[in-house]
Amino acid sequence: MSRKKKTLVSVVGPTAVGKTTMAIALARYFRTEIVSADSRQFYKEMSIGTAKPDEEELGAAPHHFINSHSVDTIYSAGDFERDALALLDTLFQQHDVVVLVGGSGLFVRALTEGLDDLPQAPAHIRQELNDALQKDGLASLQQRLKAIDPEHYAQMDFQNPQRVVRALEVYESTGKSIAQYQQQKQADRSFDVITIGLNEERETLYQRINERVNRMLEQGLVEEVKSLLSYKNHPALRTVGYTEIFDYLDRNSTLYAAVEKIQQNSRRYAKRQITWFKKHGNTQWFAPSDSSAIIAFLHTSGVPIP
């Protein structure tokens, strides 16, 4: 089988499964660099609540798109596709293999497959939806989306207000669900993509998620969220780990209840991530400890031994 010269190894899977550890192991083995596709780790002000790699991990292999933007910037999947493709042009001049890692399915898909050509909604529709978000809250828009497009709702990150609003924009302006537009032919890329999925037994994964949330609290999650109060309505902050602590700071819940809610919402998010990555792309699944099996699979797939 003939193969293109360059390969992007994409490491995906649910939150807390161990993607960062595996990506570093692969980057060190192939003597290459890591491109992050985590839509919240872009922001330098968000570290604890995003489980960003620590200094030791960042030093173990070169990382890109970590701390690359300020939280006052809205950075879309389309922006990432453009910038990451340009970066890969440079990295592939130096390396035959580059590692992509992240649990943000839309951003991974943007780079590996290209984005769908979704219609732009009229400004008044976007404004109406954003006004409804501010007035009635995210839950109200979630229910609207679930009613009109239950299939898409079951797969998406419905805790992300930007994506909920976008899906509703498409429906309100065209009468079609966003899923009906997501049928386009995969974009041609100048490199091969091999997708490695990491997954764990549900009970073990949920325990890892709960322990990670507890570590976040010990590391100062509440203090980090306090420092971001002025960005409370920014899309990146209206996500798991932040909205729950904002509720606590607004005295709408106890800290104990907020932590339990983060754990619960993180578990739900993990289920949606698994559903997404099983549907999109030709993913080969492994346990997070199977580094030797993954390397063997990559070599069998034609990735050269470094």
Cα–Cα distance measured from residue 5 to residue 1, given in angstroms and rounded to the nearest whole number: 12
Give the orientation angle of helix 255-279 with respect to helix 202-219, to 10 degrees: 130
Binding-site positions for substrate read 15-20
Which residues make up each annotated binding site for ATP? 13-20
Place of tokens 């360059």: 6
Q: Side by side, which strands form the sheet with 283-286?
A: 63-64, 34-36, 97-101, 7-12, 192-198, 283-286
The amino acid at 145? L
Nearest to 66 by CA among 39, 27, 103: 39
Residue list for the binding site: 13-20
